[in-house]
Amino acid sequence: MSYVYVAAFTGNIISFIAATCLTWTSPILSQLQDKDKTPFSSVLTDDETSWISSLLPLGAVFGPFVYGYLADKIGRKFTLLICGTPFLVAFLLLAFGKALWMYYIARFISGMSVGGVFTVMPMYVGEIAEDSNRGALGSTMNVFICSGLLFTYSVGPYVSMVALNLTLALFPAAYLVLFFLLGPESPHYYVSKHRNEEAKAALQKIRGGGEEAVDKELSQIQEKIKEEGRGTFFDIFKSKGLTKAFIISLGLVGFQQFSGINAVLFYASTIFEDAGTSLDSNICSIIIGLTQFLTSFVTPLIVERLGRKVLLLFSAVGMMVSEVPLGVYCFLNDKGNDVSAISFLPILCLITYIITYNTAYGPLPWAIMGELFPANVKSIASSVTAAFCWFLAFLITKYFKAVSDAIQIGPSFWIFAGFCAAAIPFSFFYVIETKGKSLKEIQDILNS
């Protein structure tokens, strides 16, 4: 097995950690509002719990700029290692904190690291991968994310908050050791810093091929970076190709967020309770997490065969089709109609939603973003795109509960379905196909 898989898998442990933070609120919020389980002197209000949920994506707005800057200054590897430290601090604060401000700080700093992970990890994997496996390797990030989501859903409801947070703290501790020992630096970073001997050594370790093949790839990287030079944010708008790449990236993460994914992840238990489904809400959340985990293996296997656009179209249609009947069910239930005969519908619709989301609009925006931008603007473009994504996530997680209380949860899902419908023409007409193409070929297509 090529060492590139060892590097990608070891590095992606931090993606697992980031995901545990995303679903941490689902089993925990109900405990914080239970006077017998909360660590605070009084139970939290809905507004306070909404801040605990939304401070993570708010922190993630700033994370891409901090960690994106570090990725260019000190390298992808050491940036990812620094990114892991706040997770460890945050979980310890959540385990032993007795004041609300400690929880706020923990969620914000872990959010900054989440934003960093979603910016630097696609960059890192995109640079160490080969043209033939870049899509598959990029999609493995989603496997680790879904593993983390499932872990919190499965363990969180059945252990104390202290036990959960101490368990979660073990993962960043292990990651810091493993990735430091096993993770190579990106050859692209070394070349950009004129450290060509180190770049060659990194390539030999990652590829495991002969010296001639390594020298050839090193020469290609040198030529590519030499042509690109050093860019700024405003350079994105100086060429048609880069502007289009930026719009594609913003569009993909925008439709990803407005499909409603973070509302589902952060408030899974609450959604099932409000929908009045016959199954226990925690069991429903575990089913959702398990579905997401199992389907996360599909995209890496088929993305290089079917291509990005086909999967994006399937994903958008599937999410729309699943959210419309879910909205109808919730609307009828809120109006006092007897929906006991179709009480299975919420879990069925959300399973369908998760399967189709996980096929493309979950993993592919980040993988495609890593393919679209040349090295000179990749860091800043990725940072801005990720910040935009997390700002939308902040708005949705902060105000979803308030909006769904005001207009009811059914119409909320219809709004999400409307955005999924809009994603269909965007995916078909504007997104370019990157399957099997080199980074240079992708730039040529964007500029054509």
Question: What pLDDT, on the 0 to 100 scale, is given for residue 157?
Answer: 87
342-356 pLDDT, tens digit per residue, is 888 888 888 899 999
Question: What pLDDT, on the 0 to 100 scale, is given for residue 277?
Answer: 64
Sorting pLDDT into bands at 50, 70 and 90, what band is 106? very high
Question: What pLDDT, on the 0 to 100 scale, is given for residue 266?
Answer: 63
User: CB neighbours (10 Å) of residue 107?
Assistant: 25
pLDDT at 270 > cutoff 70: no
- CATH class in words for 3-184+229-447: mainly alpha
Q: Return d(Cα 324, Cα 85) in angstroms, integer.
A: 41
- Per-residue pLDDT, averaged over 23-30, amounts to 85
Contact 355, 318 (CB under 8 A): yes
Q: Which amino acid is at 75?
A: G
Sorting pLDDT into bands at 50, 70 and 90, what band is 4? confident
Alpha-carbon distance values, 406 to 237, 261, 315, 330 (Å): 40, 20, 29, 14
Among the residue ranges 90-99, 150-159, 161-170, 299-308, the one predicted with the least confidence is 299-308
Confidence (pTM): 0.82
Sorting pLDDT into bands at 50, 70 and 90, what band is 212? confident
Q: Which two tokens stand for residue 330?
A: 């919730």
CA dihedral for 423, 424, 427, 429, sign (positive or negative) = negative
pLDDT at 149 > cutoff 60: yes
46-56 pLDDT, tens digit per residue, is 888 889 989 99
Domain range list for the chain: 3-184+229-447
310-339 pLDDT, tens digit per residue, is 999 999 999 999 999 988 988 998 888 888
Q: Return d(Cα 378, Cα 389) in angstroms, integer.
A: 16
Q: Return d(Cα 82, Cα 119) in angstroms, integer.
A: 14
% of the chain at pLDDT higher than 90? 39
Q: Return d(Cα 190, Cα 213) in angstroms, integer.
A: 18
CA dihedral for 360, 365, 369, 372, sign (positive or negative) = positive
